[in-house]
Amino acid sequence: MDRKINAIDIKSTDTDYLTGLLNRRGLDDTWDSLPDDMCVHGIYIDVDNFKLVNDIYGHAKGDELLLYVAQILKRTFEGQIVVRMGGDEFVVVCDGGIEKREIAACFPVLQTELKNGGFDETIGTMLSFSIGVSYSQPVKSGLASLLQQCDEAMYHIKKNGKGSYISYDRIRGMVEENKALKDRALTAMENGEIQILLRPVIYLQTSEVYAAEVALYWKFPEQGILPEEKFMPIFEQYGVVMQTDAYVFEKVCAWKAGWRGTVFEHLDIYVRMSGLYLLKEEGLDHIRRCVERYRISPKEIKLCIEEKDFLESRKQLKSMLRSVMDMGFEIAINNFGSASSFTVLQDVPSRILKLDGKLCIVQTENALSTQILKNIISLGRDIRRSIVGQGIADAKQAAALATYGAQLGTGSFYGEALDEAGFCEAYKDRLYLIGNKAPVSFSFEQDLSDNRKKIKGEYIGDGLAYGFGVVASQRSLIFPGGGVKKNTVEFPGHLMHSDSYSVCLWVNPDEEQPWSSVVYIMYQDGFMSLVPNTDLGFCFRIKDDREPNVWYDILCRQAVPGEWSYICATYDMIVGVSRLYFNGLLVGSREDVPSLKVAQKVMLGGDEYQRSFRGKIAGLEFYHYVLSAEHIQQKFLEYQRDATFQGTDGRK
């Protein structure tokens, strides 16, 4: 560059120890040497993903990168003031007489030189510059004003994709609007302008309300109602988010306390919380005080932390999360897929992935996007995470996410956010936890419908009969047996809509029939079966089709032909454990059992592979949660106490 600002007599000796560039104090000294009537261009430069380089390759490699950045900045902006502000941030002050287009032409050159710096290919692909520039600023306006403007421009690039540049003039209006929001933020909470509303989190297989999610709106004077997506990033940028998080969390705790004794008492609430709030000791102290004051159950409040927060402050947040989890709270990774790194899944002890709304858009014309969405959901399920699809706008999107294996969903399709009273009134009769506490039970009183007449089976074949069960008050189905898929009962897949379950029934085989299923559930990616007789005994089998030679079997003694045996099989998706109970006693369990995705159909008396079952079943119950060993034993003992009981004395 022909015009050289450092031709001015600069005597500062305050330089950066690593790069030899001026440091912040040196910049202050140099600025004081500039004439007031001079104009300058200010450039703020941040090295994108520098922290990842440090974390993955070590600080020596990070220092090498910073030295290289200093060299290319000095070379590109020869004769100008080049400063290392600290960390991976640099500032260049250029003579205002240099044409704007000449300055702008330097930015693509910088990006190219950074990637071609001789680092290995992996580092090169992750590196770029986020650059903010403020043109033609008079020195008399002050250094602070110049730095603020180019820093605002750089931050805009940083949060909108990185790897580019923008001038402050292009975002001036937006910045001034954001500052107006920030200046009013604290009084807005005091004046009741911030609305804390609730929207339903839906169990996708049944469309029932599984949980509530906090949604914030701001009644901003002269601008109308602003959604949280509009103002929360600004609150984070200016540090106002701490007060907002505290205000919202205490309100949620107050609601939970007020729900005691109602149908909403144990309803989970998902509440967004910034990583910054958890990193501050006063944030953790406030959480503890709220738990004690309102006597709430922490496990019923899910703290939703942005994925980007974990990427930016992973090590610091990890230790803070342990403190929060020790209190009993569960962590959800919010907007997962917006800035993904698999290290987040490895490092963050979260059981819930709330997928980024943009990721959940189902694009039938874009096979790649659809496949990415499917695979992310499958990955989450494979590591036993609950998947929440966000931003659901229509029935097609809801159905697709359910088919791909997401368990929960939120979005405008399920209704607008409501105040607490309105939410309770609207959804008091649609709660998943209330409607699914009782099992889906079948009495088989000359009918294949469940006791509530919501699910009806279809018999495929001939010769089905009804008889007595293990007690006089109970009826049974009598299967005649037959070829593969002959003389069986089929139910729709939504009978088994929960990932965790318990299946209980009485079985009385007529004869030994190796590998004939009495209950068979077909999933998208495998099956579950209960087999009374095999060469090795009774078998509870879970099969994942993605693992061709692996069978997740639990075996115990045979179900003796001509005798009633009480079978309960449970699967806990959260911990990946299956258990088998025989006549009320736990006889086996398996760990690391995969979670199968979306039941297609349920069969009684046979399966897709073997000859059909011949014998009786009775007392069939499907629970949408895992029964305890004590509960199962008590159920068996209750049968035994019946004077008409026709079963065994309970020996294994």
DSSP string for residues in 445-467: SS--B-TTSS-B-EEESS--EEE
d(CA 144, CA 507): 80
Q: What is the pLDDT of residue 443?
A: 94
Residues in contact with 412: Cβ distance below 8 Å, sequence separation at least 6, in sequence order: 391, 392, 393
DSSP state of 15: B
Residues in contact with 437: Cβ distance below 8 Å, sequence separation at least 6, in sequence order: none
Average pLDDT, the chain: 90
d(CA 297, CA 248): 17
d(CA 443, CA 456): 12
Cβ atoms of 156 and 142 within 8 Å: the answer is no
The residue-averaged pLDDT of 539-544 equals: 97
DSSP state of 627: P
Residue 81 β-bridge partners:
93
Q: How far is CA 216 from the centre of its chain?
A: 19
Residue found under tokens 């590196």: 127
Residue found under tokens 């990946």: 576
650: left (phi over 0), alpha (psi -120 to 50) or beta: left
Cα of first residue to Cα of last residue in the chain, in angstroms, is: 89
d(CA 43, CA 10): 19
Q: Which fold has domain 192-434?
A: TIM Barrel (3.20.20)
Residue 69 is encoded by which pair of tokens?
A: 């950045």
The residue-averaged pLDDT of 293-314 equals: 89
pLDDT band at 167 (very low <50, low <70, confident <90, very high): very high
d(CA 23, CA 226): 41
**pLDDT tens digit string along 581-636?**
999 999 999 999 999 999 999 999 999 999 999 999 999 999 999 999 999 999 99
Q: What is the pTM of this model?
A: 0.74
Q: What is the pLDDT of residue 234?
A: 79
Neighbours of 565 (CB within 10 A): 21
Is the pLDDT at 8 greater than 80? The verdict is no
What per-residue string of b and e applies to 614-647 under the rule 16 or more CB within 10 Å gives b?
A: bbbbbbbbbbbebbeeeebbebbeebbeeeeebb
Q: How far is CA 482 from the centre of its chain?
A: 46
Superfamily of domain 5-175: Reverse transcriptase/Diguanylate cyclase domain (3.30.70.270)
Nearest to 346 by CA among 381, 376, 310: 310
d(CA 172, CA 149): 9
Is the pLDDT at 341 greater than 70? The verdict is no
Residues in contact with 285: Cβ distance below 8 Å, sequence separation at least 6, in sequence order: none
Is the pLDDT at 4 greater than 60? The verdict is yes
- Class of 438-640 per CATH? mainly beta
DSSP state of 521: E
Residue found under tokens 């903010």: 132
Helix (H, G, I), strand (E, B) or coil at 366: coil
Q: Can you give the residue ranges of every domain in the chain?
A: 5-175, 192-434, 438-640
Q: Which of 52-61, 106-115, 366-375 has the lowest average pLDDT?
A: 52-61
Is the pLDDT at 472 greater than 70? The verdict is yes
The residue-averaged pLDDT of 119-147 equals: 89
Q: What is the pLDDT of residue 13?
A: 66
d(CA 427, CA 431): 7
Q: What is the pLDDT of residue 340?
A: 61
d(CA 494, CA 454): 11
